[in-house]
């Protein structure tokens, strides 16, 4: 059965079930009104129960089902209704569940802002990357840039605000955006608590885990365009580095005790050939340079391999041919162009700490330079040494 929040009366008058309509009024209304789907014209039933929010329902196996992108879960209906009320409060002209015949697609909302039409997609269920990309490109073909908002992961809805470690699957990472801050941000919405959740200034540390700042913003004080997360100050970024350093140590210890391949493991083999102890890897290996999310492995792993390349071909950080870097990143999954950019940034870091004098570089200087990297990364400004 297909559930929607919009319908037409028999005379064509549109009806929108926002959160201001009382259930008692709807129960009375449905006894003497007939409602039709605004797209297919079929009759729809007005459902007014005591648990689910009021909604219109198609009959089972309705031919209209193909125009809806996903099953209408309770959370999805609540989220659409909440977003519609949010834009109504801000007096932004919006249409709930509009049908775009050029695309045979139905965004959750279509909002008008500064002369532009903005499709809003509230995503509660998983969908393949190619489907998300296809929908996005469809909107763009009509000159519209969509906004995707995920439902807040249940495990983080009640989590306190502040800096912490968060795990986001590859699916959630599809919705990271740089439209709200210099670095990636994940914006989500919890219909249950009526709050937007920001996970900002995401710093990859290992696999799908990130250091991030979590903030909550009730829908009644949210703005549009959406509020931008507050920039972290230097003190918070020092905590970022301390947390990154702790998890770097954990990774190095795990690489020894949980590794079953021994010297056949590329990371351990490179350590052996460079005469480095994994647990005592120098601080200039494993640095959170901008764009490091392009690599699916830990920073220690790809950066050690790059150091091995320098040693093998007797290269200095300032004289590594770009074609050599393209060949280097070919061994890793991910976007090679972004990986090469990360390699260049790491080589620039090595130049700044005068890597040729690596045996005499004090840790204090390395740590100062890493904090400098975080300041540039998240604040998008140049910091004086």
Identify the pLDDT of residue 208: 92
**In 3D, which of 163, 196, 201 has the Cα closest to residue 184?**
201
Identify the pLDDT of residue 203: 95
**Cα angle at 137 between 199 and 173, to 5 degrees?**
25
Quote the tokens at residue 385: 């040494």
Q: CA–CA separation, 315 vs 312, rounded Å?
A: 8
| 2: CB partners within 8 A, 6+ apart | 57, 58, 62, 64, 65, 68, 72
Any idea where the domains of the chain sit in the sequence? 3-151, 154-231, 236-379
**DSSP per residue, 279-345:** GG--TTSS---TTGGGSSS-HHHHHHHHHHHHHHTT--TT---HHHHHHHHTTSSS-HHHHHHHHHH
**In 3D, which of 198, 166, 203 has the Cα closest to residue 183?**
203
**In 3D, which of 237, 230, 251, 243 has the Cα closest to residue 182?**
230
Q: Please identify, in words, the CATH class of the domain defined by 3-151.
A: alpha beta
Taking the model in full, what pTM does it have? 0.82
Quote the tokens at residue 50: 């005591």
Each residue's pLDDT tens digit in the chain (385 positions)? 456 777 777 777 767 777 766 777 777 777 778 878 877 778 887 787 766 777 777 776 666 654 444 456 778 888 988 999 999 999 999 998 888 999 988 899 999 999 999 999 999 989 999 999 999 999 999 999 999 999 999 999 999 999 999 999 999 999 999 888 878 999 999 999 999 999 999 999 988 999 999 999 999 999 999 999 998 988 999 999 999 999 999 999 887 776 655 567 889 899 999 999 988 899 999 999 999 999 999 999 999 999 999 999 999 999 999 999 999 999 999 999 999 999 999 999 999 999 988 888 899 999 999 999 999 888 764 343 3
Tokens 């959370």 correspond to what residue? 75
Q: Where are the alpha helices (H) located in the chain, listed in sequence order?
A: 23-29, 74-89, 129-141, 154-157, 170-173, 234-257, 266-273, 299-312, 322-329, 336-352, 363-379
């Amino acid at each position: 059965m297909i559930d929607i929040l919009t319908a037409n009366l028999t005379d064509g008058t549109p009806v929108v079930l926002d959160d201001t309509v009382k259930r008692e009024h709807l129960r009375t209304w449905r006894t003497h009104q007939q409602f039709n789907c605004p797209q297919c014209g079929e009759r729809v039933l007005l459902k007014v129960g005591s648990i689910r929010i009021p909604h219109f329902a198609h009959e089972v196996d309705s031919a209209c089902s193909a125009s809806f992108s996903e099953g209408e879960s309770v959370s999805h209906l609540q989220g659409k209704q909440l977003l519609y009320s949010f834009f109504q409060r801000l007096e932004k002209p919006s249409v709930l569940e509009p049908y775009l015949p050029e695309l045979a697609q139905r965004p959750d909302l279509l909002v008008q802002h500064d002369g532009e039409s903005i499709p809003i997609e509230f995503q509660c269920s998983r969908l393949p990357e190619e489907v998300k990309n296809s929908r996005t490109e469809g909107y763009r073909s009509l000159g519209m840039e969509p906004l995707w908002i995920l439902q807040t992961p249940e495990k983080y809805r009640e989590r306190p605000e502040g800096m912490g470690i968060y795990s986001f699957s590859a699916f959630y990472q599809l919705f990271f955006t740089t439209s709200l801050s210099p670095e990636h941000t994940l914006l989500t919405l919890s219909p249950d608590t009526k709050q937007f959740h920001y996970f900002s200034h995401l710093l990859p540390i290992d696999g799908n885990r990130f250091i991030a700042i979590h903030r909550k913003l009730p829908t009644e004080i949210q703005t549009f365009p959406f509020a931008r997360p507050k920039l972290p100050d230097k003190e918070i970024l020092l905590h970022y580095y301390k947390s990154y350093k702790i998890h770097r140590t954990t990774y190095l210890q795990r690489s020894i005790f949980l590794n079953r391949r021994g010297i056949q493991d590329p990371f351990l083999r490179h350590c052996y050939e460079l005469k480095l102890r994994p647990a005592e890897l120098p601080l200039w290996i494993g640095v959170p340079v901008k764009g490091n999310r392009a690599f699916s492995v830990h920073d220690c792993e790809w950066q050690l391999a790059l150091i091995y390349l320098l040693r093998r071909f007797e290269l200095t950080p300032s004289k590594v041919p770009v074609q050599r870097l393209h060949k280097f990143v070919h061994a890793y999954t991910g976007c090679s162009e972004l990986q090469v950019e990360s390699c260049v940034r790491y080589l620039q870091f090595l130049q700044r700490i005068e890597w040729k004098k690596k045996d005499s570089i004090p840790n204090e200087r390395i740590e100062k330079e890493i904090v400098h990297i975080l300041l540039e990364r998240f604040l998008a400004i140049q910091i004086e040494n």
